[in-house]
Structure 1
Amino acid sequence: MARREKIIELLLERDYSVSELARILGLRGKGSKKAIIEDLKVIAKIAKREGMILLIKPAQCRKCGFTFKPEINIPSRCPRCKSEWIEEPRFKLERR
């Protein structure tokens, strides 16, 4: 099974962060999160075409509570307090 197919299967079950997906799929190293983010961007397009929707729980600063825009990205720093203690966004697929 291709990596994107596996991600789709997982996201239909429950929500996951990028780090959790990378760990489950056995991806390690510097580019592993970047690869998952690129896969999620493609999956969002596939989902739309297949009558599904990619739900995004936005990233949030663990220090001040700032909530980021819901997007397929992992912010590195909070714009409000400059903390790098960021809760990653979570993703889930739902059928319409």
Structure 2
Amino acid sequence: MMTRRQRIIKLLEERDYSPSELALALDMRGKGIKKVILEDLKAISKTLKHEGKVLLIKPAECRKCGFVFKPEIKLPSKCPRCHSSWIEEPRFKIEIR
């Protein structure tokens, strides 16, 4: 049986996912699930370096004004430019280098 992180790696090797999509794919529900997934992504990012793989990040983006955030493993709560909370989640994918 695979661990949750192994399942995340397998999913991200196939295509890109947002944290919300990963939670759905892993059938995880409840408060704080996105935080758990982000912690897993941070750990996965470190372990991939030893395997010749890299975690690609499509940054979060404000749906109201188009502001693009830094490519980080985190979920911004509001836009620094227009203060909107209408934020498109970052997307993650694993690529072999």
Shorter-chain TM-score range: over 0.9
5+ long unaligned stretches in structure 2 = none
Shift of 1:49: 1.2
Partner of 2:28: 27
Which whole-Å CA distance do the structure 2 matches of 1:35 and 1:12 have between them? 19
5+ long unaligned stretches in structure 1 = none
Partner of 1:43: 44
- What do residues 44-85 of structure 1 show as CA deviations (whole Å, max 9, x unaligned)? 001111110000000000000000000000100000000000
Shift of 1:41: 0.2
Partner of 2:57: 56
Shift of 1:4: 0.2
Which whole-Å CA distance do the structure 2 matches of 1:45 and 1:3 have between them? 16
Q: After the TM superposition, list the runs of 4 or more consecutive aligned residues in structure 1 that deviate by more than 4 angstroms.
A: none
| TM-score of the superposed pair, with normalisation by structure 1 | 0.98
Indicate yes or no: 2:88 matched with 1:93. no
- What do residues 21-51 of structure 1 show as CA deviations (whole Å, max 9, x unaligned)? 0111111111110000000000000111111
Partner of 2:67: 66
The root-mean-square deviation of aligned C-alpha atoms, in Å, is 0.5
Which whole-Å CA distance do the structure 2 matches of 1:29 and 1:6 have between them? 19
Residue 46 of structure 1 aligns to a residue in which SS?
helix
Which whole-Å CA distance do the structure 2 matches of 1:61 and 1:88 have between them? 9
| TM-score of the superposed pair, with normalisation by structure 2 | 0.97
